[in-house]
Amino acid sequence: MLGTFTFHNPTKLYFGENALEGLSEELPKYGKTVQLIYGGGSIKRNGVYDAVVKILHDCGKTVVEDGGVMPNPTVKKLYEGVRIAREHKVDLLLAVGGGSCCDYAKAVSVSVHEPEDPWEKYFARYEDPTCEIVPVGCVLTMAGTGSEMNGGSVITNPAQKMKIGKVFDERVNPKFSILNPKFTYTLPMRQTVSGIYDIFSHISEQYFSGTDDNVSDALSEALMRSVVNASRIIVRDPENYEARSNIMWAATWALNNLVGCGKTEDWMVHMLGQALGAYTDATHGLTLAAVSLPYYRLVMPYGLLKFVRFAKEVWHIDPAGKTNKQIAEAGLSAMHAWMQEIGVAVSMRDLGATEDMIEGIADATILMDGVGYHTLTRDEVVRILKESL
C-alpha cells in the first residue's frame, strides 16, 4: 500500500507551440528588473533569445544578462550570479535553457539574501533557506531534468571534487515554466539522448523501492514505456513534434514528486553519477547511464520481484519457461539494448574516466542508507565503478 504523503506542486506550466505567450501573462506579476540566465549562446542562434528579450522589453522590464551557465554549474558561477542579483536588486530570475540553467537559477534564488556561504549552508550542510527567496521562472529548451517543476538544484565544487544536489521545498519551485517542444529541435543528439536517459533514470530510481502494488509504480511503468517509444522515434526523426512533446511532458512528470508519492525511493544511481560527473565534468544523463546497469545488477537479488515486474511491464519480456531471476535479467538486457540503440554511454570510460579515478569517485559518492533494496558498502561502490569501466 502507499505510504502517507502530502503532494503539493505550485509551479504553473504553459505547454505547447504557443507556450511562450504565457511569459507575457506572468511578467506583470513581478518587479521591473529581470536577471536573464542562459548557457553557452545556443538560444541566440536558434531565435529563442530574441523572442524572450522582445517580450521582456514589451512588458517594460529592465534586463540584466547572466549568460555562460555551464552544463554542470559551479560554485564559482553561483557566486557570480548572486553578485549580479545583489548589484541590480533583481525582482525575477528567468532561466532560459535546460536543467542546468534552471538548477542554477534556483541556487541563486536562495542565496541572494543569505548572509552565509550558500555552498556551505545548502550543499555541504543541507540546510533549508530561512531568508527571502527571489522568484524563478523558466523557459525550457531541453527536456530531461524536470527542474522546471521541482525545487531541486545541483551545484559542482571542482576544487572539492564534489557535485551535490539539494532538494529545496516548494517555495523554491519555479513560479512558472514555459514548455515548447519545438525549442528542443536544435539540440545535438548527444544532449537529447542524455536528457532522455535522465528522465528514464528519474523514474526508475523512484520505481525500484518498496514491494507493494501501488498507483505510483503503475504510473512509472507507463511513463517509462512512453519514454522508450518516443526516444526511438526521435533518434530517427529529431523534429517529430509528437515524440518531442511526449519526452518533454514525461520529463516534467518524472520529477515533480508525483510518481514518488508513497515511495521510499532509491537515488543511489544519482549519487554514483554525480560523483562521476564531479571527476569528469561529463553530461549528467550520460553519467547516470554509465553506472546504472552495474548498480541494478548488484541490487537485483534484493528486490527481485520488482525487477521481474519491470521486465514484464516495461520491456514485455515473456516469462514462459523462465525463472524469476532469468526474467529479471532479460529485462535488464533489454534495457541495455535500448541504451545502445539510442546511443547513450554504457561505460565510464566513454566519458573520460580512468581506473586511477575510481578510489576518488568512490570517496565522493554519498551512500544512502535504507531507502532502496540494499545499502551499498564502499567496496560495492568500487565494484560498480570497476564494472562501469
Q: What is the pLDDT of residue 78?
A: 98
Q: What is the pLDDT of residue 257?
A: 94
Is the model's pLDDT at 56 over the cut of 80? yes
Tally of domains within the chain: 2
The arithmetic mean of pLDDT across residues 211-233, rounded, is 96
Mark which of 183, 203, 237 sits at the end of a domain.
Answer: 183
Q: Which contacts of 49-53 are long-range, i.e. CB under 8 A and separated by 24 or more positions? A: 49/96, 51/20, 52/20, 52/23, 52/94, 52/96, 52/139
CATH number, residue 41: 3.40.50.1970
Percent of the chain with pLDDT over 90: 95
Q: What is the pLDDT of residue 369?
A: 85
> Could you tell me which residues come within 8 angstroms of residue 74 by beta carbon, excluding any fewer than 6 positions away?
155, 156, 157, 158
Is the model's pLDDT at 101 over the cut of 80? yes
163 and 20 within one domain: yes
Q: How confident is the model at residue 40 (pLDDT cuts 50, 70, 90)?
A: confident
Question: What's the chain's average pLDDT?
Answer: 96
pLDDT in tens, 141-161: 999 999 999 999 999 999 999
Is the model's pLDDT at 2 over the cut of 80? no
Domain that holds residue 213: 189-388
The arithmetic mean of pLDDT across residues 63-77, rounded, is 97
Among the listed residues 78, 107, 80, 84, the one whose alpha carbon sits nearest the alpha carbon of residue 33: 84
119 and 203 within one domain: no
Q: Letter for the amino acid at 262? A: G
Residue 7 forms part of a structural domain: no
Paired sense of beta strands 62-66 and 33-37, if any: parallel
251 and 364 within one domain: yes
Q: What is the DSSP code string of 286-310?
A: HHHHHHHHHHHHHHGGGGHHHHHHH
Q: What gap in Å lies between CA 110 and CA 168, rounded to an integer?
A: 9
The arithmetic mean of pLDDT across residues 325-338, rounded, is 98
Q: What is the pLDDT of residue 90?
A: 98
Q: What is the pLDDT of residue 208?
A: 97
Q: What is the pLDDT of residue 1?
A: 65
Residue 2 forms part of a structural domain: no
The partner residues of 94 in beta bridges, in order of sequence, read 36, 137
